[in-house]
């Protein structure tokens, strides 16, 4: 069923953005707080105290205030969270070189070689997990906690870390695996959401054991290649990390690889508005990620929810342009270019509390990474479906990616444009995103500011160690 010789940790930081704020600001400790992109949007990270009141991730700000009028709302502070992530990754690297950063607040560790072939490997794993928890509190901050799952593979380790929150520690040993079929629901498995669960119910699959026993060929007939991964989930195996959404599948081929660190002090202090060489939460910690986990990136995108819905075409145009520039910057940083541009929006909430959205994609006959080119395609897509309703959220994605795209343009006018973009990237890398920007974006400063989500992690800047 699984490779029983391995021991994998999945470490998930609890209420991460909120506890980072409480660690940095002691007067917030013990209070219900919510971190949000802006005060007219949604709570992207409620504190443990807020969760106990029923305020969840994704709760609209107005609803959170209705539940608790005294909730403290804070703007998202990405540099602070990325810096603390660097710190706990450094701790993890003390135990194994096989560290896979899965998102900004979670990571997988292969500790098989650390534990060795002793008489009581799982007891040893328990002691190391407890030590990691203690080091996070001592070396980063006493208000930060994590849930750790230990198991023979990554899927089981992630399931284990979800079993006890906050500040949990759960082991799933090989002999415990059969009992999981009675304990877990389908949606307890990472990768099966409620829409997929409904489709499985239509096939008569109501439990994890039903999924395990369902013929793989019939799953393939219903779902295509997704059927294979559903079968693997039912068997509690994970040859790769994947996410399922209806009949779409996103496969992330990952293997942990050695990770090296060199960094400054690990005391936790709130970051200053602009990091300096003397700031203990400086953002230029040096990382060598030349042998980081290998991920097959299929798309890059950005989305932004505005404080209030708008039907002003110029505001929407500037937002889509800025999102396109952000996507282009990320593509160029990884030497990618793409041939498929998608644009999507979500409209204002109706009186019944429901909202609708729309989006389309378009394949172009070129590989692009310039934000202006991305915008031209995205804006044309938006104009093709927009129905005049006020827009609350907009997003732009580029897919059909090709790596190492650095061909020199044939004509001088295109070479000139490429040199300008490269110069802008160098300046913005040094002084911050959009320090230099196209004139059209001068009035878009407040739109789509820097943020960070749990499902992805913005690329961390680093300098290779000598």
Binding-site entries for Mg(2+) = 12, 105
Q: Does residue 106 carry a catalytic annotation? A: yes
Hey, what long-range contacts does 144-148 have (CB within 8 A, 24 or more apart)? 144/13, 144/14, 144/19, 144/20, 144/23, 144/84, 144/268, 145/13, 145/14, 145/19, 146/11, 146/12, 146/13, 146/14, 146/88, 147/11, 147/12, 147/14, 148/9, 148/10, 148/11, 148/12
Question: Six-digit token pair at 229?
Answer: 């991964």
DSSP state of 61: H
Nearest to 19, CA basis, from 109, 132, 112, 147: 147
Cα end-to-end span (Å), the chain? 43
The structure tokens listed for 180 are: 């999981």
Tokens matching residue 292:
């980081």
Question: Please, are residues 271 and 80 in contact by the beta-carbon 8 Å criterion?
Answer: yes
Catalytic residue among 63, 106, 131, 197: 106
Distance separating alpha carbons of residues 93 and 109, to the nearest angstrom: 9
DSSP assignment of 46-58: E-HHHHHTT--TT
In angstroms, the CA 146 to CA 109 distance is: 14
Task: Count Cα neighbours of 215 within 13 Å in the Cβ-side half-sphere.
Answer: 4
Positive or negative: CA dihedral 234, 235, 241, 247 = negative
Q: Identify the CA nearest to 260 among candidates 9, 466, 11, 8.
A: 466
Q: Which residues contact 455 (CB under 8 A, 6 or more apart)?
A: 103
Write the CA distances from 86 to 12, 136, 263, 444, integer angstroms. Answer: 14, 12, 9, 31
Q: Which helix (H) or strand (E) is 36 found in, with range?
A: strand 33-36
Find out whether the peptide bond into 166 is cis, omega within 30 degrees of 0. yes
Q: Which residues are annotated as a binding site?
A: 12, 105
Using CA atoms, how far apart are residues 192 and 199, in angstroms rounded to an integer?
10
Block residue for tokens 């292969």: 110
Give every CB contact of residue 333 below 8 A, 6+ residues apart in sequence. 425, 459
Residues labelled catalytic: 106
């Amino acid at each position: 069923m699984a490779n029983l010789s391995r021991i994998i940790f999945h470490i998930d930081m609890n209420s991460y953005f909120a506890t980072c704020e409480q660690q940095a600001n002691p007067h917030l400790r013990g209070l219900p707080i919510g971190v949000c992109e802006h005060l007219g949007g949604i709570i992207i990270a409620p504190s443990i105290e807020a969760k106990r009141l029923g305020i969840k991730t994704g709760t609209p700000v107005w609803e959170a205030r209705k539940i608790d009028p005294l909730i403290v709302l804070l703007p998202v502070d990405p540099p602070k969270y990325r810096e603390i992530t660097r710190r706990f990754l450094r701790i993890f690297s003390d135990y194994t070189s096989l560290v896979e950063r899965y998102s900004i607040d979670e990571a997988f560790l292969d500790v098989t070689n650390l534990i060795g072939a002793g008489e009581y490997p799982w007891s040893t794993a328990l002691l190391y997990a407890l030590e990691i928890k203690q080091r996070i509190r001592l070396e980063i901050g006493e208000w930060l906690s994590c849930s750790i799952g230990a198991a023979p593979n990554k899927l089981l380790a992630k399931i284990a870390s979800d079993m006890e929150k906050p500040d949990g520690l759960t082991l799933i040993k090989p002999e415990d695996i059969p009992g999981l079929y009675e304990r877990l629901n389908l949606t307890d498995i990472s990768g099966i959401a409620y829409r997929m669960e409904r489709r499985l119910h239509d096939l008569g699959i109501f439990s994890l054991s039903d999924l395990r026993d369902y013929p793989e060929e019939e799953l393939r007939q219903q779902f295509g290649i997704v059927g294979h991964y559903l079968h693997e989930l039912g068997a509690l195996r994970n040859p790769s990390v994947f996410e399922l959404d209806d009949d779409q599948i996103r496969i992330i081929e990952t293997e942990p690889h050695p990770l090296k660190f060199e960094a400054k002090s690990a005391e936790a202090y709130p970051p200053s508005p602009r990091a300096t060489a003397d700031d203990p939460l400086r953002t230029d910690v040096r990382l060598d990620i030349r042998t980081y986990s290998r991920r097959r990136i299929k798309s890059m995108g950005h989305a932004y929810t505005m404080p209030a819905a708008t039907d002003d075409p110029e505001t929407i145009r500037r937002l889509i342009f800025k999102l396109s520039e952000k996507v282009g910057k990320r593509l160029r940083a990884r030497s990618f270019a793409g041939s498929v541009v998608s644009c999507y929006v979500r409209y204002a909430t109706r009186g019944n509390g429901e909202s609708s959205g729309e989006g389309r994609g378009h394949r172009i006959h070129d590989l692009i990474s310039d934000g202006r080119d991305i915008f031209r395609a995205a804006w044309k897509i938006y104009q093709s479906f927009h129905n005049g309703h006020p827009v609350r959220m907009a997003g732009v994605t580029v897919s059909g990616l090709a790596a190492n795209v650095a061909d020199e343009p044939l004509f001088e006018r295109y070479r000139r444009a490429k040199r300008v973009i490269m110069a802008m990237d160098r300046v913005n890398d040094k002084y911050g995103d959009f320090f230099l920007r196209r004139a059209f974006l001068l009035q878009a400063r407040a739109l789509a500011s820097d943020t960070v989500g749990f499902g992805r992690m913005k690329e961390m800047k680093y300098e290779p160690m000598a």
